[in-house]
Amino acid sequence: METRKVQRSGNTFYLYLPASWCKANRIGNDSQLILDMSSEGNLVVSTNPQSGEEKQLTLSFPENDGKLDTRLVNMFIVASYLNPVRSFKIKLNKPISSLEILDQKRLMSSIEFVEFGDDAISCESTVSVEDPDIILKTMIRKVINMTRVMQTNEAKELVYRYEEEIDRSNTLVQKSAISSLMFKRPSKLRHIELFYIALLSKGLEGLADQLILSPGTKQGKAIISQIQALLLNLLKCMESLDYRTVSSFAEEVLSVMDSFDEKDSYAARVKVLLQQLSETLIDWAVTSEVESKK
């Protein structure tokens, strides 16, 4: 870190850029830089992330014995979608129909613009997300609403609809984080914030996936009710990220986890996900506290 003195000429304030930084980023007399303001109010100077055209990605499956696991194809489609590319095409080693992919829930609930050819899968454009933090809070509310529906006699189709929307939201959060970390677009969020947001989003998606598998037992219904209360408090924690508030939330999570039947496999899976959410929130709160001491 170094300190530089701001100078003034008339009504203009200026600051000299470090020569080493200019050289490393090939900054010259006619170069254009991006000026932005961070969430802390700091001025951020960066090179233009849109200076180059977005890439077109092409992947080819190697020739083999003819076997092609649709689960593997699904993972590559999602990975291609998550990365900052203008379009992508996946060439397959044998023809495949869209019906063979339709049962891949995560794919079809998250990506609407994928097209299936005889021996290739393509996507000509992908969406970008500017506010993953807002999407994360929306995800929490969707999980809360899903638990409310599960405690009523409303149609199960609505529960699955919520779960699909949560899957989609998580995909968009992950895509936004990867794009920003690769400096492919400006973001008002810092990288450390994107890191924690992506972790919490992934945990929420996993929790929603488990909730729809509730066995409908007395224990299962109790878990859903307890999670609903926890998620309402999680929203409050997200507003301040104060470690004291987060500590109270973590204690509440531990209390809920201790009430679970250790022999219940469903409760055990939910317990792991709740612990991960709690730990991630604590990590983020401590990071926030460390930064406040600068």
Q: Which residues contact 5 (CB under 8 A, 6 or more apart)?
A: none
- pLDDT score at 61: 77
Mean pLDDT of the chain: 82
Q: Could you read off the pLDDT of 5-47 as tens digits, one per residue?
A: 888 888 888 888 888 888 888 888 888 888 876 545 677 788 7
The rounded distance, in Å, linking the Cα atoms of 130 and 173 is 9
The rounded distance, in Å, linking the Cα atoms of 182 and 166 is 24
pLDDT exceeds 50 at position 196: yes
- Of the listed ranges 104-118, 212-226, 257-271, the least confidently predicted one is 104-118
Which residues is 8 bridged to in the sheet?
Answer: 13
Report phi then psi at 7, rounded to 5: -115, 160
Which of the four CATH numbers 1.10.287, 1.10.3470, 1.20.58, 1.20.1050 does domain 132-292 have?
1.20.58
Tokens representing residue 98 in the block: 């869209």
Q: Could you read off the pLDDT of 117-165 as tens digits, one per residue?
A: 667 777 776 566 778 898 999 999 999 999 988 887 666 788 888 888 8
Which sign, positive or negative, has the C-alpha torsion 73, 74, 76, 80? positive
DSSP state for residue 194 in the 8-state scheme: H
Stated pTM of the model: 0.72
Residue 205 near residue 170 (C-beta atoms within 8 A):
yes
pLDDT band at 294 (very low <50, low <70, confident <90, very high): low
Which residues is 34 bridged to in the sheet?
Answer: 46
- pLDDT score at 279: 96
- pLDDT score at 198: 95
Rg (the chain; Cα; Å): 23
Residue 113 near residue 80 (C-beta atoms within 8 A):
no
Most confidently modeled range among 64-73, 111-120, 212-221:
212-221
pLDDT exceeds 90 at position 111: no
Q: Which helix (H) or strand (E) holds 243?
A: helix 243-258
- pLDDT score at 66: 60
Residue 93 DSSP SS3? coil
Its CATH class, for the domain covering 7-47, is: mainly beta
Q: Could you read off the pLDDT of 82-110 as tens digits, one per residue?
A: 888 878 888 887 776 655 655 454 454 55
